[in-house]
Amino acid sequence: MIGFGADYFVDGMDGGGNSSSSQTGAAETLETLPIKGRAPKTGYSREEYGPRWADVDRNGCDTRNDILDRDLTDKAYKHGTCVVLSGTLDDPYTGTAINFVRGQDTSTAVQIDHVVALSDSWQKGAQQLSEGERREFANDPYNLLAVDGPANQKKSDGDAATWLPANKAYRCDYVARQIGVKDKYSLWVTQAEHDAMAGVLASCPDQEVPKG
């Protein structure tokens, strides 16, 4: 990414399926998800989910900047735009504070993670979604979090059976959001994934699926 120098102003304002109007138990919702094996990855490409960080809600900002605006504090913007130039992230995956500065060598410190990875979704039902539904999935704020870049790289396209946040205090929220996303887009889980999710939720039986 290209930096924009010092042309900015500081602003404290925060800015698939149908969204849920009420919360339900994560463990309960998990038991409604189909359990199947992974489908072949044949045919998967990022392009199957539309352009990267599209402005799907037509608010003049691409999805990446929408999520940075939502998840960062103490933000600074390129003058007259919604481009986030800097801010502070309270990273849910590591439990640490990260200073974000937009620039070719610095932007990757904070990355936007698909909570349910695109390739994971492809192998668990998204092949059956329409092109428009996949584009919505890839840009849905419900499935997106600003997170520590190295943690996101380590996660890659892993599911709950292969990767969980190092910040144990966030694991219940993380798994509950994955369950919510899979429920919203009619995706399935593998047996190992189901068991890993159930294991996490055993420590937080009252955990609810976040509203989306």
Return the residue matching tokens 């919702």: 29
Q: How many residues does the chain have?
A: 212
Q: Consecutive 10-residue runs of the chain (212 residues): their mean pLDDT? A: 35 40 86 98 96 86 96 97 97 99 97 98 98 96 98 98 99 99 99 99 98 80
CA separation, residue 79 to residues 5, 6, 9, 111, 114 (Å):
11, 9, 6, 22, 28
CB atoms within 10 A of CB 64: 21
Closest to 38 measured CA to CA, from 200, 192, 152: 192
Is pTM, for the whole model, over 0.75?
A: yes
CA separation, residue 15 to residues 7, 11, 61, 69, 171 (Å):
20, 10, 11, 6, 25
What is the per-residue pLDDT for 23?
Answer: 75
What is the per-residue pLDDT for 59?
Answer: 85
What is the per-residue pLDDT for 22?
Answer: 62
